[in-house]
Amino acid sequence: MVKRWRWFAFRRNFNRFRLHPVMDGKIYWRHGSEASEAGGQEIFRFIGGLESIGEDQSVWVSSGGLAVPVLLRNAETYLLPMQGDEEASQVYEPGEEAPERIRWEKVSTIAEGTRVFVGGRLLPNEGRPTFVSTRETPLMVIFYGGPDHSLASKAIWAGRHRDEYFNPVTPYSLAIGSLCLLSVAGYFLSRPAFHITAILSFAAVFVPLFPLVPPGLLFTAIYRRLAWRSRILRAYSDLAQLPLQYFTEGNRPLPNETRKLPGGESYGFVRTRELPPEVGDGKIPMLIPEAESGGKSDDWHIFGTLNPEAPLPSRPADPSATFGVLPGDPGNFARRSRRRAYVMEVAAWLMLLAGVALNVFFLRMLVFVLI
Nearest Cα neighbor of 149 from 87, 208, 56 is 87
Instruction: Kindly state whether residue 171 falls inside one of the protein's structural domains.
Output: no
pLDDT of residue 304: 95
Question: Is the Cβ–Cβ distance between 66 and 28 less than 8 Å?
Answer: yes
Looking at the structure, tell me whether residues 213 and 335 fall in a common domain: yes
Looking at the structure, tell me whether residues 243 and 368 fall in a common domain: yes
Instruction: Kindly state whether residue 199 falls inside one of the protein's structural domains.
Output: no
pLDDT of residue 294: 47
Instruction: Kindly state whether residue 235 falls inside one of the protein's structural domains.
Output: yes
Sign of CA dihedral 92, 49, 13, 286: negative
Instruction: Kindly state whether residue 188 falls inside one of the protein's structural domains.
Output: no
Looking at the structure, tell me whether residues 313 and 239 fall in a common domain: yes
pLDDT of residue 102: 94
The enclosing domain of 33 has a CATH number of: 2.40.50
Final residue belonging to a domain, choices 125, 158, 191: 158
Q: What is the mean pLDDT of each run of 10 residues along the chain (371 residues)?
A: 85 94 84 52 89 91 93 94 52 70 91 95 85 93 92 90 65 74 76 74 72 85 91 92 79 70 88 88 86 63 91 93 91 92 95 89 76 62
Looking at the structure, tell me whether residues 109 and 228 fall in a common domain: no
Instruction: Kindly state whether residue 12 falls inside one of the protein's structural domains.
Output: yes
Looking at the structure, tell me whether residues 214 and 79 fall in a common domain: no
Strands annotated E in the chain: 43-53, 58-63, 66-71, 76-79, 100-101, 115-125, 128-132, 140-144, 259-260, 266-272, 300-305, 324-327
Looking at the structure, tell me whether residues 211 and 150 fall in a common domain: no
Looking at the structure, tell me whether residues 216 and 286 fall in a common domain: yes
Q: What residue numbers bound the domain in which 53 lies?
A: 2-158
Looking at the structure, tell me whether residues 8 and 95 fall in a common domain: yes
User: Is the overall model pTM greater than 0.75, yes or no?
Assistant: yes
Please, what's the largest Cα pairwise distance for the chain? 90
Instruction: Kindly state whether residue 164 falls inside one of the protein's structural domains.
Output: no
Q: Determine the residue type at 346.
A: V
Looking at the structure, tell me whether residues 275 and 350 fall in a common domain: yes
Number of CB atoms found within 10 A of residue 331's CB: 17
Looking at the structure, tell me whether residues 257 and 337 fall in a common domain: yes
pLDDT of residue 249: 55
pLDDT of residue 336: 93
CA atoms within 13 A on the CB side of 158: 25
Looking at the structure, tell me whether residues 143 and 212 fall in a common domain: no
pLDDT of residue 72: 95
Final residue belonging to a domain, choices 89, 123, 158: 158
Instruction: Kindly state whether residue 350 falls inside one of the protein's structural domains.
Output: yes
Looking at the structure, tell me whether residues 275 and 148 fall in a common domain: no
Question: Is the Cβ–Cβ distance between 48 and 37 less than 8 Å?
Answer: no
Burial readout 316-325 (b: 16 or more C-beta within 10 A, e: otherwise): bebbbbbbbb
In whole angstroms, give the CA distance from residue 354 to residue 360.
10
Total domain count, the chain: 2
Instruction: Kindly state whether residue 101 falls inside one of the protein's structural domains.
Output: yes
